[in-house]
Amino acid sequence: MNHLFDWHVLDDSVWAAHIAAALRHYRAGKTWTPAAPSRSLALLFFNPSLRTRTSMELAGAQLGAHVTTITPGQGTWGFAWEDGKVMDGTEAEHIREAVGVLSRYYDALGVRVFASGTDYAQDRDETLMRAILDAATVPVVNLESAFYHPCQALGDASTLMTHFDGAAKGKKFVLTWTYHPKALPMAVPNSALLMAARLGMQVTVARPDGYGLDPGVMDQAQHYAARHGLTVEESTDQAAAFDDADVIYAKAWGGPLIYQDPDAEAARRQDFKDWRVTSELMARTNEAAFMHCLPVRRGVVVDDAVLDGPQAIHLLQAEFRLHAQKAILEHVWDLNPREEERVSGRLSASLFAPAHAEDGA
Ligand code: CP
């Protein structure tokens, strides 16, 4: 089955084909190409969403599929997740039956289920998303799980390839932590980091002490970077990290600290309220594009002048969610002319070629 759990478990050729397909949909604009008129898609959102929900509904509709969106707990039964649980409490249905039933009705499922924020091993191991994958008998698309947001990653990669006219490789990409009143999950920063490193960009993660990302994710990013002869840098000096950047990708995250001592993390976070993207910081860059996955808190994460200025590409980034997810649905339903797209452009040929011959494959 063509699950989309995360890109790092899929081949470069699949990743490149998806970027090519997303760009194809971008060039086509708001077209309705009913390649999937007899398909159906159920979207389960265990957590809130604006972009993912609407763009996925529209992606399905524009391909001609029937789409049902479900908000568990609102009009459905409450679901139990644990194996072996004696369900004598409030939960009336186990996720195994819920997903098993939906698999018999629908041709694919999309699921958003965020990190617990309390159990690091559960989140790192993607226990909840894996329970869905285990129970499903149709393809599942990850609409943001504990550690990964592959739909965002594909949209972001396609945005960058458009912004740089196919030449994202070698550009300086700064993933900068920002202050936020809440300790947010790490799925987006993890996915942005892996995406940029896989594209061969020079990646710097700027973040305060204690806000490093998961070591396993960093290792995977270093692996991608090494294929291009690069190293992912980390810096606790936000201003210095902005120097000569071509892309500033802002994101707040709680980091592993929230799992160890949430009160200490909350107190520590107050020391970093000045980690906000300002015009002054942007002036240090190489006229960098400003990116954010959205939603974004104005005046907290980034100043209005940056969001409303000419360097902000966050709305193009959001638009690409629709194009990317049409590419993903084509993939899960085997509608994508992937062979054609592998050879269709400069992307697949150039994206993954090592920067130097000695770097190897
Ligand atoms: N970026 C993103 O996933 O947005 P939503 O949470 O609104 O879906």
Give the per-residue pLDDT at 340. Answer: 56
Confidence of residue 357 (pLDDT cuts 50, 70, 90): very low
Residue 120, token pair as written in the block:
């690091």
Name which residue sits closest to atom 6 of ligand 1, judged by CA: 49
Confidence of residue 236 (pLDDT cuts 50, 70, 90): very high
Helix orientation angle between 150-163 and 187-198, rounded to the nearest 10 degrees? 40
Measure the CA–CA gap between 261 and 32, rounded to whole angstroms: 49
Does 239 have pLDDT greater than 50? yes
What dihedral angle (degrees, nearest 10) is formed by the CA atoms of 161, 165, 170, 173?
-50
- Cβ of 52 closer than 6 Å to ligand 1, yes or no, is yes
| Percent of the chain whose pLDDT exceeds 70 | 93
Tell me the pLDDT tens digit for each residue of 22-47.
999 999 998 888 888 899 999 999 99
Confidence of residue 255 (pLDDT cuts 50, 70, 90): confident
Rounded to an integer, the average pLDDT of 142-158 is 98
- Cβ of 294 closer than 6 Å to ligand 1, yes or no, is yes
**SS3 call for 111:** strand
Confidence of residue 349 (pLDDT cuts 50, 70, 90): very low
Give the per-residue pLDDT at 350. Answer: 46
**Strands 289-291, 172-177: pairing kind:** unpaired
Give the per-residue pLDDT at 352. Answer: 45
- Cβ of 162 closer than 6 Å to ligand 1, yes or no, is no
Give the per-residue pLDDT at 1. Answer: 80
**Range(s) within the chain of domains with CATH label 3.40.50.1370:** 7-148+321-346, 153-316
Q: State the number of CA atoms in the 13 A half-sphere of 312 facing the CB.
A: 19
Rounded to an integer, the average pLDDT of 212-225 is 98
Point out the least confidently predicted range of 23-37, 111-125, 248-262, 342-356.
Answer: 342-356
What 8-state DSSP symbol labels residue 214? P
- DSSP state string for 241-292: HHTT-SEEEEE----THHHH-HHHHHHHHGGGTT--B-HHHHHTSSSPEEE-
Tell me the pLDDT tens digit for each residue of 275-300.
999 999 999 999 999 999 999 999 99
Rounded to an integer, the average pLDDT of 155-160 is 98
The structure tokens 């500033």 sit at 248
**Spatial CA neighbour of 282 closest among 233, 241, 314:** 241
Give the per-residue pLDDT at 354. Answer: 37
Residue 360 sits at φ, ψ, to 5 deg, of: 75, -175
Q: Which atom of ligand 1 is nearest to the CA of 53?
A: 8
Kindly report the pTM of this predicted structure: 0.94
Q: Which atom of ligand 1 is nearest to the CA of 294?
A: 1
Confidence of residue 353 (pLDDT cuts 50, 70, 90): very low
CATH for 7-148+321-346? Answer: 3.40.50.1370
Residue 72, token pair as written in the block:
């568990």
In the chain, beta strands by DSSP E = 40-45, 66-70, 79-80, 93-94, 108-112, 140-142, 172-177, 202-206, 233-235, 247-251, 289-291
Name which residue sits closest to atom 4 of ligand 1, judged by CA: 51
Please count the other Cβ atoms lying within 10 Å of the Cβ belonging to residue 10.
Answer: 17
Confidence of residue 64 (pLDDT cuts 50, 70, 90): very high
CATH for 153-316? Answer: 3.40.50.1370
**Spatial CA neighbour of 312 closest among 338, 294, 333, 334:** 294
- Cβ of 315 closer than 6 Å to ligand 1, yes or no, is no
Does 346 have pLDDT greater than 60? no
Does 324 have pLDDT greater than 80? yes
Angle at 58 between CA 57 and CA 59, to 5 degrees: 95
